[in-house]
Structures are given as structure tokens and as C-alpha cells.
Copies of this chain bind each other. A is one copy, B any other.
Amino acid sequence: MVTVDDFASPVRPTWCTGCGNFAIWNAVKRALAQVGLAPHQVMIVGGIGCGSKLPDYTRANGYMTLHGRTVPVATGIRLANHGLRVICTHGDGDAYAEGLGHMLHAARRNIGLVDIIQDNRIYGLTKGQYSPTSDRGRVTKTSPWGAFELPVNPIALALAAGATFVARSWSGDLNHLTETIVRALGHRGYALVDIFQPCVTFNRQNSYDYYRPRVYKLQDDPTYDVTDKMAAFARALEWGDRIPIGVFYQVEDRPAYEEQVPALRAGPLAPRPLEKLRPEQIRRLLEELV
């Protein structure tokens, strides 16, 4: 049986005390243990940022890549070996600034990734510039007059891009976080899990106390239908005093990308022995050239 301890790494997190990343880290390990995926059966891919260092603190296959390129690297891993469950953990800058295009293309591709965004609505590692999810008017070193941009709405964008699983959770509720990740791990295609992650050092506004009274659980409403896209859009636009968390949308109306690729019908690619072409394969190739 897989346990949370199987994921214990000798490296201790360098996150600030109270950082919302601790809960995410614990939830990921718990969720993996719960669904019974051992460290060698998963691959956790990070980008660059505070949260993106999660693979360094977790005993599991991992890869810490480039700022903003988490998703394409993970896509390559998944297609090369869909025997591995591939999980992305990266920040809001990584995912929604530098990486926004990749995420939306991953969504429409429906590649089998669990894409966890450590959304602290700030740039942590580079010390506090505003991020794509920072509020309008947010004052930082690069926005001394307050940010002019409308924040990115990742839920709405993922829906618009055709994501088949779109969810939100937050670091203040470890159980909800774990559950949501477990649900995402059970999804076949691309699964977005945006997580409100308080940054206690550079984002004092969006603190635990900010979120606690605001978040409410979609799944507490028994009439909420996760297959209704327009309902999901309506909730995606809800913001302010009440902010929904949970699974906004989940359908299995089209197969995962890797399920459609002809070369992958025979199973994962990486473990296959790599051999020279057979004589009749060579013959057929040369036949094309005469």
C-alpha cells in the first residue's frame, strides 16, 4: 500500500512559515496515497517559482523545468510514457502569464495532465511583483499606480478553451484540496485545479482570512450540474464576497489526446525496446523513392 510517507524527501521545503504551498504539498501526497500511485508511477513537473519547487521536496519522479513551460514539458512526458500519471505544479505567473497559451492549448488537446496552479496572485520567488491574477489596482514595485489589467479568470478561460475538468480549491481546507486533487487524478483528459494559495510574505491582501469567509463549495449545492457548461461559466464569473470552489465542470465527451494517437495504441512508448528497422520496413521506405 502506498502511504504519504513514501513521498518523503530528504530535502526540506524552503517555503516561508505559513505559506499556502505546504497544504498543497500535503494534499498532493495524500491524494496520491489515496489513489494508490507510488512515487515511481507518477511524474511531478514544476516550472520556476516558489511553488514550482514542490518536486524537489517530494520523493517521486519529478522535473523542475522552465518558467512558463511546465505544461508542454509535461505533455511530452505524458505522450512518451502514459504509464506515468503526470502532474504539474506551478505558480500563477508560470501558468497564466508566460504559460497561458500552453495551458489553453493543453485544454483543447485534452492531454491527460493534472494541472495544479499554486495561485498566490503574486510573484513570490522574484519578490512581490503583481501577477496575472492580482486584482486591478494592486500596488507593487512594477505597478506603483495600481495594476490596470483585469485579472485572468482561469476558470472561465479553461472552460472557453474546452477543458474537460475545471476545478478550484484553496490552501485553507486540506480535505477539500485533497478531494479535489483525487477527483482530478480520476479524470482522463486535461484537469485544471486552480488553488488559492496564500503568500504570507508578499501578498497580505489575499490571506487565509481573506478567503475563509468568501469561499463556498459548489458541491454543497446538490442541484449544481458539473456537466452544464453555461452553469459553469456563470459560476466562473462569480467573484467578490462569494467565491465558489470545487469542481466547476467535468465531462468525458471526448477522449484524452493520448488515447487517440495511433502510435500509442500498443501502450506506452518509453518502455518499448528500441530496435533497428526490420528489412521489410526498410524495403517499404526505399520503395517510396524509386
A residues sitting closer than 8 Å to B (CB atoms) are: 97-102, 104-105, 108-110, 132, 136, 145, 148-153, 156-157, 159-162, 229-230, 233-234, 236-237, 254, 257, 260-262
Contacts and interface: CB of A to CB of B under 8 A. Distances in A.
B148 A260 contact: yes
A93 to B, nearest CB: 12
Contacts of A101: 98-102
A98 B101 CA distance: 8
A259 to B, nearest CB: 9
B100 A105 contact: yes
Contact of A237 (B98, B109, B229, B236): B229
Contacts of A110: 148-150
Contacts of A230: 230, 233-234, 237
Contacts of A156: 159-160
Contacts of A233: 230, 233
Nearest to A163: B150
Give the interface SS of chain A, mostly helix, strand, loop or mixed: helix
A88 B91 CA distance: 31
A262 B145 contact: yes
Nearest to A259: B148
Nearest to A151: B108
A149 B100 contact: no
Contacts of A161: 150, 152-153, 157
A240 B101 CA distance: 26
A157 B109 CA distance: 15
A234 B109 CA distance: 22
Contacts of A153: 160-162
A131 B256 CA distance: 19
Contacts of A229: 237
A136 to B, nearest CB: 8
A148 B100 contact: no
B100 A104 contact: yes
